[in-house]
Amino acid sequence: MSKPTKETLLEQERFELKPKSGGGLLSYEVWGYIEKGKTIVTRYNLAYINHAIYRGDNGRVLGFDNAHDYHHRHYMGEVEPVEFTNFEATQARFQQEWLEIINRTQGNKP
């Protein structure tokens, strides 16, 4: 009988964005394990926080996570389930969406 795989923190990063880049904070937290050379993600939390854009939900403008036993997306206080293919696709979607938010908000500035 094999030992159960121990989940570990694979990545935890926070990036403070300069005001000219839209401001705010990007936060990544990824948990999982490596099996036969392949990374298996078990939990994740990706967030773009910017109190200048949205004050609710602790400033979380956009986020993706799989807490509460389902994959979901946060957008300015609204939460909706999302289809999960794999973590890499979710991370790419998060990246694309927060960049779109930055571009929209930067475009609205005089």
User: 19 lies in a domain?
Assistant: yes
User: 88 lies in a domain?
Assistant: yes
Q: What is the pLDDT of residue 20?
A: 83
Q: What is the pLDDT of residue 4?
A: 60
Question: Is residue 110 over pLDDT 50?
Answer: no
- Is the pTM for the entire model greater than 0.85? yes
For 25-70, write each residue's pLDDT tens digit.
Answer: 999 999 999 999 999 999 999 999 999 999 999 999 999 999 999 9
- Asked if residue 26 lies in contact with residue 47, where contact means CB atoms within 8 angstroms, the answer is yes
User: 56 lies in a domain?
Assistant: yes
User: 110 lies in a domain?
Assistant: no
Number of structural domains in the chain = 1
Q: Which residue range(s) make up the domain with 76?
A: 8-105
User: 1 lies in a domain?
Assistant: no
